[in-house]
Amino acid sequence: GAVVSQHPSWVICKSGTSVKIECRSLDFQATTMFWYRQFPKQSLMLMATSNEGSKATYEQGVEKDKFLINHASLTLSTLTVTSAHPEDSSFYICSARGPGADTQYFGPGTRLTVL
């Protein structure tokens, strides 16, 4: 099956710093990548959709300037949490979908803790 990796798997940072999370599709070209956020014991909430080479489409209520998304190639998308605050602490998961495909394959997730 399709493999998606995420790095780092967990990160702890100080309030006010920025954190970059990478999402890579390892064995297929991902024309579309998605970023989700999941709070403990809750479902996944879509933050944004990104297509390679174009600007990300953010969901309502998600701050574009706080959560910077770059989809520079068909195998890599990055999410940068800028000026992180404790309320940004969460589990961030990316997914990727190939051209014309229905199924999204998910990365293993990144647990962010902001102190």
8 A C-beta contact, residue 110 and residue 11: yes
Residue 113 contacts other proteins per CB under 8 A: no
8 A C-beta contact, residue 84 and residue 15: yes
Cα separation, 94 vs 108, whole angstroms: 8
Residue 76 contacts other proteins per CB under 8 A: no
Residue 111 contacts other proteins per CB under 8 A: yes
Question: Taking the complex as a whole, how short is the minimal distance between the CB of residue 60 and other proteins, in angstroms?
Answer: 11
Handedness of CA 27, 31, 37, 42 (dihedral sign): negative
15-74: contacts with other proteins (CB under 8 A): 32, 34, 42-44, 46, 49, 51, 57
Q: Which parts of this chain interact with other proteins (CB under 8 A)?
A: 1, 32, 34, 42-44, 46, 49, 51, 57, 91, 93, 95, 97, 102-109, 111
